[in-house]
């Protein structure tokens, strides 16, 4: 009887350990590419990337119609526009600081803000640097809405933006919200 209770207790303990290990492994999975959780991670990475935080602190950031922020929205074509995420960029300590990354919550004005979308394979390729930003826009692999002249003058930081897409972990096996 005592052996039976000991085996039963050991069995429950092993089961609990296995469930804990499985939940921790699941928690370590990267968020879905371009989900609100991924956008929050991207926002943090933006602030750690001098080419973006410092490189976009001039004309690009201040071309905002006096609102004090800039919105960058993006989505994966194969997931649809309903899966759009946004980054809110504000001036802070002389830098272009990402203050928010997640589901859209600020109305965008594409006279000064940006919307970018591409297929998942194209986003992944751009995150590897293939193609570069100019080719991505000119070839139509990256569809783009916003002030193109302002964007063209910030092409070097924009290249860093595209490369950052490949550095922030994200799973492309499913669409955000699915």
Q: In this structure, what DSSP letter does residue 78 have?
A: G
Measure the CA dihedral 113/119/121/122, to 10°: -50
pTM of the predicted protein model: 0.82
Which pLDDT value is given to residue 160? 93
Which pLDDT value is given to residue 27? 54
Cross-strand pairs, 76: 118
Which pLDDT value is given to residue 30? 96
Which pLDDT value is given to residue 131? 75
Strand order across the 70-76 sheet: 95-102, 85-92, 70-76, 114-118, 143-145
Q: How far apart are CA 108 and CA 75, in angstroms?
A: 14
Which pLDDT value is given to residue 15? 43
Which pLDDT value is given to residue 1? 53
- Which 3 state secondary structure label does DSSP give 145? strand
Is-contact 142 121, C-beta < 8 A?
Answer: no
Per-residue tokens: 23: 């939940």
Is-contact 89 70, C-beta < 8 A?
Answer: yes
46: left (phi over 0), alpha (psi -120 to 50) or beta: alpha
Provide the pairing of β-strand 85-92 with 143-145: unpaired
Cross-strand pairs, 98: 89
- The low-confidence residues of the chain, meaning pLDDT below 50, are 3, 6-26
60: left (phi over 0), alpha (psi -120 to 50) or beta: alpha
Is-contact 77 107, C-beta < 8 A?
Answer: no
């Amino acid at each position: 009887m005592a052996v039976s209770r000991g085996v039963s207790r050991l069995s429950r303990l092993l089961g609990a350990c296995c469930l804990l290990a499985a939940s921790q492994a699941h928690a370590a999975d990267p968020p879905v590419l371009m989900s609100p959780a991924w956008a929050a991670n991207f926002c943090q990475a933006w602030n750690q990337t001098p080419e973006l935080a410092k490189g976009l602190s001039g004309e690009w950031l201040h071309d905002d119609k006096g609102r004090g922020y800039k919105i960058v929205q993006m989505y994966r074509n194969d997931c649809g526009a309903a899966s759009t995420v946004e980054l809110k960029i504000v001036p802070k300590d002389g830098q272009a600081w990402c203050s928010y990354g997640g589901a859209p919550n600020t109305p965008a004005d594409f006279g000064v803000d940006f919307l970018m979308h591409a297929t998942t394979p194209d986003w992944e390729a751009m995150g590897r640097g293939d193609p570069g930003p100019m080719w991505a826009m000119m070839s139509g692999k990256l569809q783009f809405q916003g002030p193109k002249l302002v964007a063209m003058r910030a092409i070097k930081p924009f290249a860093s933006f595209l490369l950052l897409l490949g550095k922030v972990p994200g799973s492309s096996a499913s669409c955000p919200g699915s």
